């Protein structure tokens, strides 16, 4: 049997990608291995390899496949020309997933990168001056313009009037570009990674990234958005997600978002701030918003540790400092703790401001005669020692506790918690309130809860108040072994605690000697009398609102047997009622609230 000669060895071929002619290839029927090779002849029965010296000569290859109607349709192009790859490298610069460094670079229908960069491609074509390169670019431009003309014309007609149709959304969302959306009522910027229609065409799914912080590093985090299907055309500005470039005031918005991102970056670590805005908590798998107007502690690391079972944050790590483009897509969310609500929450950076500390916090406190000045002096002495980095404790052995412990003893609502608040205010630190009842019922649970709480208190430099501490400090009884174990746990952990500790007790008759020796100040609070209650009413009403009450009305309110906590709740509820009615707070509002809530508190004479 004779073997045909290999003609390719005697034929001189042009350099790869240099022939400025279109070479078409067509899909064949699947072979035995279910592969569908390409051939140069539409009706060819035999398959010719696509990568041959002949095909490699051409600037680019055009691939076509059979469509449902039986005809042929454009499938993809393979760019081989060095001139084309040089020009397209500039045109597609920064476009995700495209590299012009390969031998043959394939672009598939619907040629999304060319739709997004068509204007840049046309400009590059016009600027090309080298003859051979110009011919290659013109040839590709002509082939693609014939294929893409309808889509490009339709897109240009729509965006000229700032409108779009659902099936044309993909043409205005370019990967790598900035997009905008409203999330939890807050304007957010993201960087687009890609988009696609769902299989049922009911929505256009958008995949994006933004900058977040996990308490240790800053990095990129994924976020998904979507645009539901709609009929006809709609304004681009009315879409739930819009490309940044189509925003009506993009320059001012860009500046504001960058400034917000830079401010957000400055809140890394722990910060004690005043917050006015929406606080987000997760409840039964849903995000629930609460209006917050109080001081909060920003601490992302501890927030994530507390939510570790249901919240993971995997970040693509970036450098410590953020460039403007990264600040632009930074989240506005700060994570931390609201002491007033005793909840871990997410906050918005725009609602944060510096705390204005009360220079005279003790004026609102009702203390037994002679105690106020002594307590203030002790606090100031301790504050000075803290700033001197434990100079106060130089003579204390290392293994003994370096804390100042104050036991506040008396009935509910007489000022125990307020005393701790005043001390924290003087020291300009947070007050962390821990309810003994919430620590657990076993020694193991109590130890775990206390360790976590003490770590937070130490990290924040906070004053610690353990409320309802009776179960810990009462004298041990051999008949109640479980209570004895709880007391031992607290005593052991406090051996190494450094800071200010308040223990609030409602009615322990006999204190455990082990605790008695660790208490530096023991303050007893008697029941409130009329004068004490009058002082509380005036403090809670403030300078403006107390002028709305007559002397008789204040005297009447002071004569009602309420404690400080009940008075505070009454004033808060009455203010809410007055605000709803559009009037100023009055004596009648207070009486109305009393009548409505008296069954819960036993108030009958209103």
CA-to-CA distance for 339 and 326, rounded, in angstroms?
A: 32
What is the per-residue pLDDT for 368? 57
> Model confidence at 395, in pLDDT bands (50, 70, 90)?
very low
According to DSSP, residue 323 is labeled: P
pLDDT digits (tens, 9 = 90+) for 241-288: 999 999 999 999 999 999 999 999 999 999 999 999 999 988 777 788
What is the per-residue pLDDT for 354? 96
The pair of structure tokens assigned to 448 is 């775990």
The arithmetic mean of pLDDT across residues 55-82, rounded, is: 80
Please indicate, yes or no, whether residues 565 and 459 belong to a single structural domain of this protein.
no
Are 365 and 418 contacting, i.e. CB atoms less than 8 angstroms apart? yes
Burial 17-50 (b: 16+ CB within 10 A, else e): bbbbeebbbbbbeeeeeeeeebbbeeeeeebeeb
What is the per-residue pLDDT for 275? 97
pLDDT digits (tens, 9 = 90+) for 505-514: 886 666 777 7
45 occurs within a structural domain: yes
**Backbone phi and psi for residue 275, each to the nearest 5 degrees, phi listed first:** -130, 135
What pTM, to 2 d.p., does this model score? 0.78
Q: Strand ranges (DSSP E) for 200-331?
A: 203-213, 218-228, 233-235, 241-243, 270-283, 286-299, 316-317
Please indicate, yes or no, whether residues 384 and 508 belong to a single structural domain of this protein.
yes
Boundary of a domain, candidates 293, 324, 353: 353
Please indicate, yes or no, whether residues 519 and 534 belong to a single structural domain of this protein.
no
Q: Provide the residue count of the chain.
A: 606
Are 15 and 50 contacting, i.e. CB atoms less than 8 angstroms apart? no
The arithmetic mean of pLDDT across residues 395-414, rounded, is: 68
What is the per-residue pLDDT for 45? 39
The arithmetic mean of pLDDT across residues 129-146, rounded, is: 92
Please indicate, yes or no, whether residues 485 and 553 belong to a single structural domain of this protein.
no
> Model confidence at 468, in pLDDT bands (50, 70, 90)?
confident
pLDDT: is 387 or 269 the higher one?
269
* Beta carbons within 10 angstroms of residue 260's beta carbon: 21
CA-to-CA distance for 326 and 318, rounded, in angstroms?
A: 10
Please indicate, yes or no, whether residues 308 and 222 belong to a single structural domain of this protein.
no
Of 322, 320, 350, 345, nearest to 335 by C-alpha is: 345
Boundary of a domain, candidates 495, 524, 553: 524
Q: What angle do CA 242, 246, 251 make, to 5 degrees?
A: 110
99 occurs within a structural domain: yes
Are 126 and 91 contacting, i.e. CB atoms less than 8 angstroms apart? no
399 occurs within a structural domain: yes
> Model confidence at 15, in pLDDT bands (50, 70, 90)?
low
Residue 582 is part of a domain; what is its CATH number?
1.10.8
The total of structural domains in the chain comes to 5
Q: Are strands 521-524 and 402-409 parallel, antiparallel or unpaired?
A: parallel
> Model confidence at 445, in pLDDT bands (50, 70, 90)?
confident
What is the per-residue pLDDT for 43? 52
The yes-or-no verdict on residue 571 having pLDDT over 60 is yes
Please indicate, yes or no, whether residues 367 and 452 belong to a single structural domain of this protein.
yes
201 occurs within a structural domain: yes
Please indicate, yes or no, whether residues 86 and 29 belong to a single structural domain of this protein.
yes
Please indicate, yes or no, whether residues 443 and 465 belong to a single structural domain of this protein.
yes
The yes-or-no verdict on residue 526 having pLDDT over 60 is yes
pLDDT digits (tens, 9 = 90+) for 193-209: 999 999 998 999 999 99
pLDDT: is 372 or 392 the higher one?
372
Are 367 and 302 contacting, i.e. CB atoms less than 8 angstroms apart? no
35 occurs within a structural domain: yes
The arithmetic mean of pLDDT across residues 411-438, rounded, is: 86
> Model confidence at 367, in pLDDT bands (50, 70, 90)?
low
Query: Using only C-alpha atoms, what is the Rg of the chain?
Result: 37
Please indicate, yes or no, whether residues 549 and 491 belong to a single structural domain of this protein.
no
The arithmetic mean of pLDDT across residues 79-107, rounded, is: 91
CA-to-CA distance for 491 and 471, rounded, in angstroms?
A: 12
34-38, 215-219, 323-327: range with highest mean pLDDT = 323-327
Task: Calculate the average pLDDT of the chain.
Answer: 82
The yes-or-no verdict on residue 233 having pLDDT over 70 is yes
What is the per-residue pLDDT for 7? 47
The pair of structure tokens assigned to 375 is 């307590």
5 occurs within a structural domain: no
Residue 498 is part of a domain; what is its CATH number?
3.40.50.300
Please indicate, yes or no, whether residues 452 and 509 belong to a single structural domain of this protein.
yes
Please indicate, yes or no, whether residues 479 and 574 belong to a single structural domain of this protein.
no
Are 61 and 23 contacting, i.e. CB atoms less than 8 angstroms apart? yes
> Which range of residues forms the domain containing residue 498?
361-524
257 occurs within a structural domain: no
478 occurs within a structural domain: yes
What is the per-residue pLDDT for 402? 62
Boundary of a domain, candidates 524, 543, 568: 524
Please indicate, yes or no, whether residues 379 and 516 belong to a single structural domain of this protein.
yes
CA-to-CA distance for 346 and 140, rounded, in angstroms?
A: 52
């Amino acid at each position: 049997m004779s073997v045909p000669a290999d003609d390719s060895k005697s034929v001189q071929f042009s350099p790869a990608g240099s022939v400025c002619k279109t070479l078409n290839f067509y899909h064949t029927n699947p072979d035995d291995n279910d592969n569908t090779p390409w051939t140069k002849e539409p009706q060819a029965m035999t398959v010719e390899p696509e990568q041959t010296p002949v095909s490699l000569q051409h600037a680019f290859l055009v691939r076509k496949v059979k469509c449902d109607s039986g005809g042929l349709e454009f499938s993809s192009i393979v760019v081989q020309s060095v001139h084309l790859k040089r020009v397209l490298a500039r045109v597609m610069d920064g476009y995700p997933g495209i590299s012009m460094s390969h031998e043959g670079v394939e672009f598939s229908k619907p040629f999304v990168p060319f739709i997004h960069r068509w204007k840049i491609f046309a400009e590059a074509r016009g600027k090309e001056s080298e003859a051979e390169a110009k011919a290659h670019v013109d040839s590709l431009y002509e082939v693609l313009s014939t294929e893409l003309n309808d889509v490009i014309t339709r897109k240009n007609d729509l965006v000229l009037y700032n409108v779009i149709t659902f099936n044309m959304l993909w043409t205005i969302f370019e990967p790598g570009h900035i997009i905008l959306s409203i999330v939890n009522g807050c304007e957010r910027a993201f960087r687009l990674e890609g988009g696609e229609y769902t299989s049922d065409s009911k929505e256009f799914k958008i995949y994006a990234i933004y900058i977040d912080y996990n308490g240790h590093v800053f990095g990129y985090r994924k976020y998904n958005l979507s645009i539901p299907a709609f009929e006809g055309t709609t304004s681009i500005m009315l879409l739930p997600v819009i490309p940044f470039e189509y925003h009506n005031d993009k320059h001012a918005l860009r500046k504001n978002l960058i400034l917000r991102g830079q401010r957000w970056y400055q809140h890394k670590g722990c910060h004690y701030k005043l917050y006015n805005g929406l606080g987000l908590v997760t409840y039964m798998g849903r995000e629930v918003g609460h209006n917050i107007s109080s001081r909060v502690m920003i601490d992302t690391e501890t927030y994530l540790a507390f939510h570790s079972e249901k919240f993971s944050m995997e970040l693509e790590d970036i450098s410590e400092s953020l460039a403007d483009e990264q600040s632009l897509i930074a989240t506005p969310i700060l994570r931390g703790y609201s002491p007033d609500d005793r909840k871990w929450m997410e906050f918005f950076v725009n609602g944060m401001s510096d705390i204005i500390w009360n220079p005279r916090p003790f004026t609102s406190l009702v203390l037994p005669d002679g105690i106020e000045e002594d307590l203030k002096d002790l606090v100031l002495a301790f504050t000075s020692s803290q700033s001197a980095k434990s100079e106060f404790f130089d003579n204390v052995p290392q293994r003994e506790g370096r804390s100042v412990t104050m036991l506040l003893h008396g009935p509910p609502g007489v000022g125990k918690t307020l005393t701790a608040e005043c001390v924290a205010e003087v020291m300009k630190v947070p007050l962390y309130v821990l309810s003994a009842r919430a620590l657990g019922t076993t020694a193991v649970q109590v130890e775990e809860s206390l360790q976590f709480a003490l770590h937070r208190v130490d990290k924040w430099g906070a004053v610690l108040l353990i409320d309802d501490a009776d179960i810990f400090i009462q004298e041990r009884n051999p008949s109640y072994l479980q209570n004895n174990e709880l007391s031992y746990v607290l005593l052991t952990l406090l051996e190494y605690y450094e800071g200010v500790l308040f223990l609030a007790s409602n009615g322990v008759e006999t204190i455990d000697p082990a605790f008695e020796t660790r208490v530096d100040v023991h303050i007893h609070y008697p029941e409130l009398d009329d004068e004490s209650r009058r002082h509380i009413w005036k403090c809670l009403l403030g300078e403006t609102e107390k002028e709305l009450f007559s002397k008789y009305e204040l005297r009447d309110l002071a004569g009602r047997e309420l404690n400080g906590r009940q008075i505070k709740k009454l004033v808060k509820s009455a203010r809410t009622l007055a605000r709803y009615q559009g009037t100023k707070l009055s004596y009648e509002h207070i009486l109305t609230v009393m009548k409505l809530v008296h069954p819960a508190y036993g108030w009958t004479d209103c």
